[in-house]
């Protein structure tokens, strides 16, 4: 990832780089957000679908350019988690992702002094681009988890919409974790999440990564999975690798060896990633709106496929089967093609 960034630096203005990376991963609650999707865009079409397809889970394409078939929902409540912002209908993911969240919530409560998870966005019912908040989260293998512990009581639906995020950073200081907010239980939670083999990356703010590098005294074998990224100061982002046998899922290069506490991290603490455009500089061209035809071909089939009968039957752990398990609405062979976007489409 970083070598690519360094190469990219040579060809893009600093401003364009910051914009590109920032758009790629930041679930920027505070930043300016699109309020409504552009009619006819992939964001509008995928965002309007309320139920997943029937059939087995298929992640089609890349984390930031793809879609999802056979999704299941995280139950809104569990003994050690509560799902947030329910109105967004983004509790959907591959069963592997939902199982991982539930397992992390149990393990963190049992071993790490973390009472439970507040779970943010996972994916839309059929994945695909979202009109606000994320560029990735498109194939059911990304999930946001708050760095705020679950309260002892069940939050109301209204509270889940409005509970504010708590940043881990000191206000008015450059990239510094606030030691009045940060706790070792948070550090343990992050390393617990990184400990699972199916977790490939965890995105955190560079200041949080630095804090982890400086203070984590346990096994550092998985510290390299913690990747510094813009935003991610009040939540962290778990990304699973493509599951085995998932033909249409386009993997990301593996994380480089080592704990990631050296040069690539130091880059974030230089002015470069934060440089503002020079006055009078031409702003970078606005990327063209992504259309369904820009996504892997099978994503149109995903949109056309029959829905499950209800969200309840497709909720993870539901007794009822979501559909005929033996047949897929999406042929795997076609899912495996068309996943490479044209060069003109930014692929964060």
Which of 27, 138 has the CB closer to Zn ion? Answer: 27
Q: Is 27 in the site for Zn ion (CB under 5 A)?
A: yes
DSSP-assigned states of every residue in 196-242: STTEEEEEE-HHHHHHHHHH--S--TTGGGEEE-SS-SSEEEEEEPP
With 0-12 CB in 10 A as exposed, 13-18 as middle and 19+ as buried, what is 337?
Answer: exposed
Q: Is 237 in the site for Zn ion (CB under 5 A)?
A: yes
Q: Is 107 in the site for Zn ion (CB under 5 A)?
A: no
Tokens 């099978």 appear where?
Answer: 298
Which of 49, 135 has the CB closer to Zn ion? Answer: 135
Which of 96, 144 has the CB closer to Zn ion? Answer: 144
Compute the least distance from the CB of residue 199 to Zn ion, in Å: 13
- Rounded CA-CA distance 28/299 in Å is 26
- Rounded CA-CA distance 200/227 in Å is 10
Q: Which stretch binds Zn ion (CB under 5 A): 32-40, 110-118, 237-245, 332-340?
A: 237-245
Helix (H, G, I), strand (E, B) or coil at 41: coil
Residue of minimal Cβ distance to Zn ion: 237
Which of 53, 123 has the CB closer to Zn ion? Answer: 123
Spatial contact of 235 and 27, defined as CB atoms under 8 Å apart: yes
Compute the least distance from the CB of residue 207 to Zn ion, in Å: 17
Tokens 């209908």 appear where?
Answer: 89
- Rounded CA-CA distance 44/47 in Å is 5
Q: Would you tell me how many other CB atoms lie within 10 Å of the CB of residue 79?
A: 9
Q: Which stretch binds Zn ion (CB under 5 A): 20-28, 76-84, 208-216, 335-343?
A: 20-28
Give every CB contact of residue 266 below 8 A, 6+ residues apart in sequence.
none
Compute the least distance from the CB of residue 347 to Zn ion, in Å: 16
Compute the least distance from the CB of residue 140 to Zn ion, in Å: 13
- Size of residue set near Zn ion by CB under 5 A: 3
Q: Which stretch binds Zn ion (CB under 5 A): 42-50, 62-70, 99-107, 230-238?
A: 230-238
Which of 182, 236 has the CB closer to Zn ion? Answer: 236
Q: How many Cα neighbours within 13 Å face the side chain of 293?
A: 2
Which of 227, 250 has the CB closer to Zn ion? Answer: 227
Compute the least distance from the CB of residue 87 to Zn ion, in Å: 18
DSSP-assigned states of every residue in 229-288: -SS-SSEEEEEEPPPTT-TTB-PPPPPPSS-S-SHHHHHTTSSGGGPPPPTTPPPPPPPP
Q: Is 144 in the site for Zn ion (CB under 5 A)?
A: yes
Q: Which stretch binds Zn ion (CB under 5 A): 65-73, 141-149, 154-162, 278-286?
A: 141-149
Which of 82, 123 has the CB closer to Zn ion? Answer: 123
Compute the least distance from the CB of residue 142 to Zn ion, in Å: 5
- Rounded CA-CA distance 187/246 in Å is 32
Q: Which stretch binds Zn ion (CB under 5 A): 12-20, 71-79, 234-242, 322-330?
A: 234-242
Backbone phi, psi, residue 81, to 5°: -155, 160
Closest CA to 342 of 301, 299, 296: 296
Q: Which stretch binds Zn ion (CB under 5 A): 139-147, 242-250, 270-278, 320-328?
A: 139-147
Which of 234, 328 has the CB closer to Zn ion? Answer: 234
Q: Is 90 in the site for Zn ion (CB under 5 A)?
A: no
Which of 107, 142 has the CB closer to Zn ion? Answer: 142
Binding residues (CB under 5 A) for Zn ion: these are: 27, 144, 237
């Amino acid at each position: 990832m970083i070598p690519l960034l360094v190469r990219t630096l040579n060809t893009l203005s600093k401003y364009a780089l910051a914009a590109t990376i920032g758009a790629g991963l930041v679930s920027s609650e505070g930043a300016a957000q699109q309020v409504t999707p552009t009619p006819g865009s992939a964001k509008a079409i995928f965002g309007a679908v309320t139920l997943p397809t029937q059939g087995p889970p298929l992640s089609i394409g890349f984390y930031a350019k793809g879609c999802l078939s056979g999704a299941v929902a995280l139950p809104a409540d569990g003994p050690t988690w509560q799902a947030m912002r329910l109105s967004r209908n983004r509790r959907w993911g591959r069963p592997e992702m939902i199982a991982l969240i539930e397992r992390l919530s149990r393990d963190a409560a049992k071993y790490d002094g973390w009472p439970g998870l507040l779970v943010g966005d996972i994916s839309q019912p059929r994945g695909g681009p979202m009109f606000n908040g994320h560029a990735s989260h498109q194939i059911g293998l990304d999930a946001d988890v708050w760095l705020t512990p679950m309260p002892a009581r069940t939050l109301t639906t209204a509270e889940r919409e409005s509970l504010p995020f708590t940043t881990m950073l000191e206000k008015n200081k450059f990239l510094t974790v606030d030691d009045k907010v940060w706790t070792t239980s948070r550090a343990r939670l992050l390393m617990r999440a990184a400990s699972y083999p199916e977790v490939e990356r965890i995105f955190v703010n560079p200041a949080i990564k630095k804090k982890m590098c400086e203070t984590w005294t346990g096994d550092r074998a998985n510290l390299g999975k913690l990747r510094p990224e813009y935003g991610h100061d009040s939540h962290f982002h778990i990304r699973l690798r493509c599951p085995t046998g998932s033909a249409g899922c386009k993997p990301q290069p593996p994380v480089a060896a080592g704990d990631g506490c050296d040069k690539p991290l130091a880059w974030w603490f230089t002015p470069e990633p934060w440089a503002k455009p020079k006055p009078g500089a031409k702003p970078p061209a606005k990327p063209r709106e992504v259309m369904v035809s820009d996504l892997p071909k099978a994503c149109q089939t995903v949109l056309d496929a029959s829905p499950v009968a209800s969200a309840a039957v497709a909720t993870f752990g539901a007794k009822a089967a979501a559909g005929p398990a033996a047949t897929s609405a999406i042929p795997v062979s076609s899912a495996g093609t068309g996943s490479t976007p044209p060069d003109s489409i930014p692929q964060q």
